[in-house]
Each structure stands twice: as structure tokens, then as C-alpha cells.
Amino acid sequence: MIVRSIADLRAAVRGWRQSGLGCALVPTMGALHEGHLALIRLAARSCDRVVVSIFVNPLQFGPHEDVNRYPRRMTADVAAALQAGAHLVFAPTVAGMFPSGHATMVHVAGLSEGLCGPHRPGHFDGMATVVTKLLLQTLPDAAFFGEKDYQQLLIVRRLVRDLDIPVRIEGMQTVREPDGLAMSSRNAYLSEQQRRIAPVLAATLGDMARRLAADGGAVAAAMADGQARLRAAGFTAIDYVEVCDAETLAPLGRVAGPARILAAAWLGDTRLIDNVAVAPSP
Ligand code: PAF
């Protein structure tokens, strides 16, 4: 089942509610991979009905990022979403989501400003705006997001809290390829040679996490070594490799509590992001 209009989405959800059924939302931009399908399966285990939204949101692409290059395969995505347990696919048009005159943006201060923030101006405001709209259009009991976009997940948690949107935000562990590469729709852009280099990102962050779990004071050295390893492997540019507080994303000089290592690095024209938890030994 696929609906295009907000009115039809609301009518479907209203029908479920009248039958006493709960509802989950899994927001996506399509090009569904195993990570998305795992989210849909988790949502289907947690709630009676699952809406998967498929919307390539132009507001979260910067002026130098090509929204038209983003992979689109609606027919295969709808089939995969339904197969994984979705009951309805919401695929609005750009004009339906942002009718002319749309003027309101959601900005989450602080959390949006570090890490990917300065490298992708406007990205998090565009993401926060569309996620707010999707949540208010669907009004689900729970919405599901992958931890691969860790900064996004924290921003969504904060906007839901700050705007009193009555929804539970569920994060799910990153799903990885057998060689460790985090699943991402953007992996489709990688050449064969780049695909061979790509898993070094996850391996580097994993080794940094083990080192920092053992020696919380070694942050600067771990960051420098991590960056050097990515360059040596063939990453063409590194936006950041940072060790941050797991809740506030404040950069850390030493690890004493729950921390997260986050990185963004380029292979040619393709930007990969990844992150891992650091659990310091007591
Ligand atoms: O993570 C994504 O795919 C997007 O940022 C989201 C949450 C679907 C909003 O467009």
C-alpha cells in the first residue's frame, strides 16, 4: 500500500487508531538497504502497524550536494519495505511536503553545530524540519532511526523533547557489511577500488575505541593516528575524526564516561560517515 498525500496518510493512521492499533514510523530517503530493513523489522516487532516514509528531502542537501544524484528506486523500495513488515509506504511529492510559500525551519542549536554541521551547511535544519513534519503528519507512537547517523539521532531526540512531540524515538545499532563497512545508500557510489578501502574507516574507529577504553587520556594521539591511518589507506579528504561526549557531542580531551568516536571522510566524490561507542573500563 502506497500513499502520496498527507490526508491519505492521516486517514490510514486514523483507521488503525480506531481499531486500537499502535503505529510506528521509519523515515527514509529510499534506496533501502539491509540497515533500513532491519529498522523496519524492529518497528514491526514493536508496533502493530508500520509506516515507512520514502522522501528524498531537497532541504537537507547543500548547494554543492547533488540531490538529483541520490539513488531512487521506488518500485523495489516499496516491495522491500512491505516484505520487511511495513504496512504502508508514505511517498509524498516535494510540492506536497513543501508547498510554495513554505517558510518554517526547525533549528536545533548546539547539537547541529559541530561534526557534520559546518561541513554540510543547512543539512541538519533541513533534516530536522522534514522529520518534524513527518512526525506531525503521522503522529506515530514510536519512530526508528539508525545509529549510523548518530548526530542526526541526537538532534531528533532533542527536537522531540523541545517541541513536546508525543513520540518515542528508538535508535538502532548500525548494520554493517561482513567487512565492517556501515551500510549506507551512498556505498552504491563507490568504485571497486574505493569499496576495498572503505572498511578501513570502521576498523580505524574500532581500534581507536579499544585504545581509548584502555587509556582515556590518549585522545589527541588516537585522533592523530586515526587520521594518519585513513590517509595512508587512500581516503582523499577527512572532514573530521572526533572523540565526543555520547550525549552532548561536546569534544572530549580525555575519556572518563560514555563517549562516541565520530568520523566523516571522503573517497573521491563520496563522503562516508561512521561512529562507534567507547565504553571506558571502570
Ligand atoms: O536518515 C535519513 O535517511 C534522513 O535524514 C531522514 C531521517 C529520512 C530525513 O530525511
Q: What is the mean pLDDT of each run of 10 residues along the chain (282 residues)?
A: 97 98 98 97 98 98 87 96 98 98 98 97 98 98 98 98 98 98 95 98 98 95 98 98 98 96 97 93 64
How many independent structural domains does the chain possess? 2
Which residue's CA is the nearest one to ligand 1's atom 1? 28
pLDDT score at 280: 67
Q: Could you tell me if residue 210 is inside a domain?
A: yes
| Residue 96 and residue 168 in one domain | yes
Q: Could you tell me if residue 178 is inside a domain?
A: no
- Beta carbons of 23 and 87 less than 8 angstroms apart: no
Domain boundaries, position 226: 185-275
pLDDT score at 69: 86
pLDDT score at 281: 66
Atom of ligand 1 nearest to the CA of 131: 9
pLDDT score at 117: 97
Q: Determine the 3-state secondary structure of 81 from DSSP.
A: helix
pLDDT score at 65: 85
| Residue 190 and residue 162 in one domain | no
**H or E element in which residue 5 lies:** none
Q: Give yes or no: 36 in active site.
A: yes
| Residue 111 and residue 241 in one domain | no
Q: What is the pTM of this model?
A: 0.97
pLDDT score at 282: 62
| Residue 135 and residue 223 in one domain | no
- Residue 140's identity, in one-letter code, is P
CA–CA gap between residue 27 and residue 53 (Å, rounded): 5
Q: Could you tell me if residue 280 is inside a domain?
A: no
Which residue's CA is the nearest one to ligand 1's atom 8? 28
Please tell me the distance between residue 27's alpha carbon and the centre of ligand 1 in angstroms: 6
Q: Determine the 3-state secondary structure of 185 from DSSP.
A: helix
- Beta carbons of 263 and 241 less than 8 angstroms apart: yes
| Residue 138 and residue 190 in one domain | no
**Ligand 1 binding pocket, CB closer than 6 Å:** 27-29, 57, 60, 127, 130-131, 149, 152
